Amino acid sequence: MRSFYRRPKIVFVFVFLVLFVVWLFVTIIEFSFGLTVTTDDLIATGKTLRNGRQLKAFITSSYYYPTSESLGDNAIALVMSINLVSNPVLKLAHFFSPDSSELVIMAKNATSSVIMKASYVRVTPHEACQIITVFATAQLIPNVTNISMLGDNGVAEIPFTSPSYTKRDVVVCTSPLYVSEQWQNFLLAVHIYRKFGAHMNLYLISSVTSFYELMKEYEREGYMTVQPWVNVDFPGVPKTTADPYNQIEFRNQAASQTDCLLQFKESARFVTFLDLDDVLIPKIAPTYAEEFQRIMDGKKKLAYIFYHKENYDAVVARNSSRFSLRKMFGSLECKHKRETGKIVVDPRNLNYTWIHYPPDLPNGFEKYEVTENVITHLKTIVWTDEQNESGEAPIEPLYFDNSTAKIIASKDILNIEKDLRRMIRKPRIRKIFSKLPNMHYYTDLVVNCYNDRYYQYHYSGRIANIKCPGPQLCEFVQHPKIKCTHVTATHTPMETLYPITYYYATNAHFTGDIGCYAH
């Protein structure tokens, strides 16, 4: 010690170092638990520490089923995005007890009330993103009027809706579209689904405005439904606790698919989950329902059947007045490259699903890999001025297997083209048609961004370099001439509840005031 007294500089450095280490330690602890110094947090620090950190859950779906074959009557099904995965840089949180996985739900009807516990299950099978999708269900009481979530220090009432009870054979759930310009692609998909007996339920974040208007007309005509897909947000919560802009996988696609499954659980015989550029055309039967039924018949209880995707190139007219589906079919060229496919389910046999398939098989169920048909994946779509007229007969695009099999027969192509003409003749649609974009801009930004920042790591196996493909992965420099219609909603700050604070959006609708963005 004496030598220290004789060397004031060393003492100074030593004291400084000690202070620095203490500061560093406190910062790491704070950061890992997402503590920010508000009085609210200080009061509740004990509880926060017990649970590792504050949990924030955004409710994306909340369906109350007066009757349900698979969930039981008076059931509630919840889908939530929750910050369950701790920041990987700061592993400290793992030393604490695991997070409570129990929800406490209170339901009231006109005459009584009930409190139920329900545990939630993970839908997202990996930990690349900190905010993951979870599912929970519980049976409540008849004629529920109010549902609340209970915490240790309070109650939060949450909204709920009824699922669809309109009987349908097949529902195609189209994953969330954003900054979309691919109207040709949409027309191909929506007419094919109509022709072979499916209803399209399309999740929409943003698209160029004329394309949005086109979709709304197809909705009016009963071909499809446009479902606004709102962003997850936790107003007032620091990003170190829950960062919905960077830490949710692909604009919450797994939650949108599970929402669709739950929405049509009681009403559809089959539900399938496809991107807009995936086109499934029945091959072994004249309709989707018959094909799915034939594939499932005689097998064990199936949670899902899995169709592979085969990549195709397509050429389309950029000028909407020259566009035809017949020519688009004729241009399809197989690339002989397979990509991860998608599933078709009997919604009674599955309660939740991730992007490609569910994270696990429910007890007593099996899956089947379809060999009878594949999904036609429009990997590249070239917009051209010149498109060769094919002669009298339409060109039937080839099935991927190098046999003489075709994806679709000429008579079906002609029927589909006729239906497109019928729609274009409608005055409202004709007006929109002339405004559809004849150039693509955002499409290129999306493709380049995902290749640079995601797929090059994904496909080269450099998994360690993969960052969460969050909603803000790509920047979209706005184009002065291209206007988008974008979803918006009201997000309200919430009182902190322990162990979980619940958030939700209300008043979802579309607006032209935001611009072309992905969240």
Ligand X SMILES: *[C@@H]1O[C@H](CO)[C@@H](O)[C@H](O)[C@H]1NC(C)=O
**Contact positions vs ligand X (CB under 6 A):** 66, 70-71, 109-112, 114, 137, 141-143, 145-146, 157, 315, 319, 321-322, 336, 349-351, 362, 384, 386-388, 401-402, 438
Rounded CA gap, 354 and 273, in Å? Answer: 10
CB of 350 to ligand X, least distance (A): 5
Residues contacting 487, CB < 8 A, separation 6+: 204, 205, 206, 228, 229, 230, 231, 508, 509, 510, 511
Between the alpha carbon of residue 507 and those of residues 35, 228, 231, 237, the distances in Å are 31, 10, 13, 21
CB nearer ligand X, residue 388 or residue 451: 388
CB of 149 to ligand X, least distance (A): 13
User: Count of alpha carbons within 13 Å of 400, Cβ hemisphere only?
Assistant: 20
CB nearer ligand X, residue 157 or residue 372: 157
CB nearer ligand X, residue 91 or residue 337: 337
Burial of 447 (0-12, 13-18, 19+ CB in 10 A): middle
Residues contacting 241, CB < 8 A, separation 6+: 34, 36, 53, 54, 56, 83, 234
CB nearer ligand X, residue 322 or residue 483: 322
CB nearer ligand X, residue 318 or residue 356: 318
**Token reading at 513:** 């005031």
CB nearer ligand X, residue 27 or residue 388: 388
Helices 183-195 and 410-425 meet at what angle, rounded to 10? 120
Give the count of beta carbons closer than 10 Å to the beta carbon of residue 144.
18
CB of 185 to ligand X, least distance (A): 18
CB nearer ligand X, residue 234 or residue 292: 292
CB nearer ligand X, residue 71 or residue 500: 71
Q: Where are the beta strands (DSSP E) in 394-493?
A: 484-491
- Cross-strand partners of 344: 272, 305
Residues contacting 323, CB < 8 A, separation 6+: 184, 187, 316, 317
CB nearer ligand X, residue 29 or residue 114: 114
Mapped to the 3 state alphabet, what secondary structure does 49-88 carry? HHCCCCEEEEEEEEEEECCCCCCCCCEEEEEEEECCCCCC
User: Residue 450 carries which side chain, given as an amino acid letter?
Assistant: Y
Give the count of beta carbons closer than 10 Å to the beta carbon of residue 495.
11
With residue 329 as reference, give the H or E element that holds it.
helix 325-330
**Token reading at 214:** 């086109």
CB of 341 to ligand X, least distance (A): 15
DSSP code per residue over 293-315 = HHHHTTSS-EEEEEEEEEEEEEE
CB nearer ligand X, residue 234 or residue 399: 399
Q: Smallest Cα–Cα separation from 514: which of 196, 220, 282, 179? A: 179
CB of 285 to ligand X, least distance (A): 22
CB nearer ligand X, residue 30 or residue 339: 339
CB of 359 to ligand X, least distance (A): 12
CB of 366 to ligand X, least distance (A): 12
Rounded CA gap, 319 and 512, in Å? Answer: 24
Classify residue 370 by its DSSP letter. -
Residue 153 has phi, psi (to 5 degrees) of -120, 20
CB nearer ligand X, residue 248 or residue 413: 413
CB of 387 to ligand X, least distance (A): 6
CB of 466 to ligand X, least distance (A): 29
> 62 near 78, Cβ under 8 Å?
yes
CB nearer ligand X, residue 221 or residue 366: 366
CB of 317 to ligand X, least distance (A): 9
